[in-house]
Amino acid sequence: MSFPGTGKIWMNGKLVDWKDANIHIASHVIHYGSGVFEGARCYATPKGSACFRLDEHLVRLVHSAKIYRMEYQLDLAGWREAVLQTIRANEMKACYIRPLVYRGYDTLGVNPLNNPVDAAIMVWEWGAYLGAGALEQGVDVKVSSWSRMAPNTLPAMAKSVANYANSQLIKMEALADGYSEGIALDVTGNISEGSGQNIFVVRNGIIYTPPLASSVLGGITRDTIITLARDNGFTVLEQDLPREILYIADEVFFTGTAAEVTPVRSVDKIQVGAGRRGPITEALQKAFFQVVNCEVPDTHGWLTWVYPEEAAKRQPLQAAAGNSR
């Protein structure tokens, strides 16, 4: 993925040219990682462009900022409109959405409180995160030598810039060893998550995923898949999972805004199941993409239309049944 280098970026309420979206080198976030962010997606559907679970992403952004004592002047409606304004300004039908709240330029030192709290929103095109064939063929992964953060060190429930230093170590090690991705364990040795994805394990028809207490970010796609799985009659259990269950699982898959629903075909060179996307993973992929592509009614109110009037004209019943924000 590379950036286009053109278009508009929202910065503190103003749309600025891509090349002018700069901050000072002495900004606190650069030196101390004092920032939180989100990653959401806008999909091009037959009814128009729709952001998937945008409000949930923005609520998590606000909560992440609250944990780090960063207050920004926008409420939820203001954040939502700022995101939609940025998408419209860039005339994008589908895109990845990156809101960011960070400590700006004033003074340096561990104490961040004298620095302003600034914000920005970027949008750009981003395809399959783990490769073009990953959604169908699956990916090869390893258990990382790097663990996730211990409880009461860095808050795993915050999607903070600082936490992703750990993610970079996991990702770089996996790539250096010839794998697409790494799976981190928590400090007790149980499964936590990927470098930027939640993880699910299928065994004997039951779907398992680690609990939030395993240093797991409460993923929006994770919650979506749990909901869709239960809607479709599957049993989903959130519980501690030992490393070795990865080697005897019938299916393993990642979830995330970037990764969407990506099968894992091997872990540490041990084949998972049949070595390809399993039937439960495929069923959940289908259910997920039917929702985000507006192929089924939006019964959970997960879609936010970029151009709601256009969506209502194309599908009045859909707009009435779902979320026409």
Query: Which one, of 115, 100, 32, 109, lies nearest residue 65 by Cα?
Result: 100
Give yes or no for a contact between 130 and 154, defined as CB atoms under 8 angstroms apart.
Answer: no
Please say if 313 is a catalytic residue.
no
Token pair in block for residue 45: 């559907």
CA dihedral 151, 144, 286, 235 (to 10 degrees): -50
Residue 3: Cβ-neighbour burial (10 angstroms; 0-12, 13-18, 19+)? exposed
Query: Which one, of 125, 44, 80, lies nearest residue 310 by Cα?
Result: 44
Task: Give every CB contact of residue 313 below 8 A, 6+ residues apart in sequence.
Answer: none
Which candidate in 8, 47, 159, 171 is catalytic?
A: 159
Cβ neighbour number for residue 247 with a 10 Å cutoff: 14
User: What is the helix (H) or strand (E) element at residue 291, kind and residue range?
Assistant: helix 279-292
Task: Give every CB contact of residue 115 below 8 A, 6+ residues apart in sequence.
Answer: 27, 28, 34, 103, 104, 105, 106, 107
Give yes or no for a contact between 207 and 236, defined as CB atoms under 8 angstroms apart.
Answer: yes
- Provide the annotated active-site residues: 159
